Amino acid sequence: MYLDLTTNDATWVDVYRLCIGFINPRPIALVSTVSSDGRENLAPFSFYNMVSANPPVVIVCPGLNRNREEKDTLRNVKQTSDFVVATVTREIVEPMARCAAELAYGESEFVFSGLTKRPATRVAPSLVAESPVNIECTLRQIVETGEEPGSSSVIFGTIVAIHVDDAILTDEKVVDPHKLRTVGRLGGPYYADVTEPYEVSVPKA
């Protein structure tokens, strides 16, 4: 199989479906935001990662839909500059998926999914109480990749507070991968659980 994207051999949907099949497993950000008038939103994104350690910066990339409309997450971040990312584990994967439903603007995904709000310490949006890890973030910048359906806005956020359940920590105060059963997104409706972590040593040059 070969696709030459410079000659329009495939639509953006074709490219998207192909790429998410091999760019994986992708970590899932369950992002909590609130509008300037107090309406909360909770939505999952698998275009998510940490891109800097000093300062600690993460990216979340909400895409435009087929009608070129912004998602509520992006709209809220533009209004308030705050967001929270909850880590998705096997225990909350089903309610996480419910948060992807297209609810009316302002209708709470916390209520629809059954997940529980917990107050943050530095930002306005709520934490997800059922998640063992929540990070509070403030907006650094937004980079737009385009204006057509399928394009994304890359939200860069600085981590200002981290909440970690002590139950998943080692004695050295780092996360034990055997205790944190994170979930990764694959292609289509498929997900993967981190159930059997293993070590690989990097050789010295």
pLDDT tens by residue, 150-181: 899 999 999 999 999 999 999 999 999 999 99
pLDDT band, very low/low/confident/very high, at 128 (cuts 50, 70, 90): very high
Residue 198 lies in a domain: no
167 in a domain, yes or no?
yes
In a domain, 3, yes or no: no
User: Are residues 183 and 90 in contact, defined by beta-carbon separation less than 8 angstroms?
Assistant: yes
Residue 194 lies in a domain: no
- Number of folded domains in the chain? 1
> Given a cut of 90, is residue 114 above it in pLDDT?
yes
Query: What is the model's pLDDT at position 55?
Result: 98
pLDDT score for 169: 97
* pLDDT (0 to 100) of residue 66: 73
Is pLDDT at 127 greater than 80 in this prediction? yes
Residue 147 lies in a domain: yes
pLDDT per residue over 58-104, tens digit each? 999 998 877 778 899 999 999 999 999 999 999 999 999 999 998 98
Question: Does 2 fall in a domain?
Answer: no
pLDDT of residue 158: 98
- Tell me if 76 is assigned to some domain: yes
Indicate the pTM of the whole model.
0.94
Q: Is 194's pLDDT higher than 80?
A: yes
HSE-up (13 A, CA, CB side) for residue 189: 1
Match 């956020």 to its residue by tokens: 157
What is the per-residue pLDDT for 51? 98
Residue 97's φ and ψ, nearest 5 degrees, are: -65, -35
> Does the structure show a pLDDT above 80 at 139?
yes
State the DSSP code for 182: B
When the pLDDT of each residue in the chain is averaged and rounded to a whole number, the result is 94
Name the residue range of residue 100's domain. Answer: 27-187
Residues 61, 155 contacting (CB under 8 angstroms): yes
Amino acid at 27: P
Question: What would the two tokens of residue 78 be?
Answer: 């533009």
Q: Which amino acid is at 23?
A: I
Q: What is the CATH number of the domain that holds 157?
A: 2.30.110.10
Residue 57 belongs to some domain of the structure: yes
